[in-house]
Structure 1
Amino acid sequence: MRKGSHAYEQALDALVGILRERARQGAEPLQYGQVSNELQRLGHQVAAHEEPMPHLLEDACARENADGSLPMLSALVVRQETRMPSDGFFKLARRAPYRRTGDDVELWVDELRALAAHHARR
């Protein structure tokens, strides 16, 4: 699946929907494998730890959040081994437009809280 293709955009729409719903339910994290399985259930073949998953997660953050002021949806996706987001999440969080600060755990917990609060209001 190539970034920017129709299939990619459909998978991105599905991913954003999955993550928004999870945020509305209290922002409990999902493992990469769970996200992959949920996308597959919706008709999108996206491997848990291969392309295009990292791109989809980055684009899910950017969707309707061009200025980085809203919580990052990809904070909900964690590695099974560590129960924490991948290094890619923290790199993304620290660069423009997000510019999140704090150590990894603090940054991530703050993001989860912000996700739950933001989506509870919707």
Structure 2
Amino acid sequence: MSGWSPEVLEVLAASGWTAGRRVDTADWRSMFEAVGIVMHEAAEAFLQEFGGLTVSIGGTGINRAREPFELNPELAWGEDDRFSEWSDSLGRRLFPLGELDDGRFFLVCCARNPEG
């Protein structure tokens, strides 16, 4: 089925994920493309499967504690200038996926720029 461990599958299932899940990403696409942030293929594929999930996880990790996170691009709304600058600086197309640490950190999906 997948290469995920039973623990990961359990956390995903508890968050509302099911195999074959397909979320409509059209609203997120149009929302961000209106301000110049293009949803690339990798972000769309990820959000179709995991978009809208809130993962309530905690405990020790390897390099840092496990923290809950939310996979909702709208949480980054209003930060389009930041994403544009980071994309230009990194030479990659970034698309917001959500956030963790109560908005302290954004989660993003990155793809190569078509020119590079």
Is this a same-fold pair by TM over 0.5?
no
Structure with higher strand content: 2
Structure-1-length-normalised TM-score: 0.23
Structure with higher helix content: 1
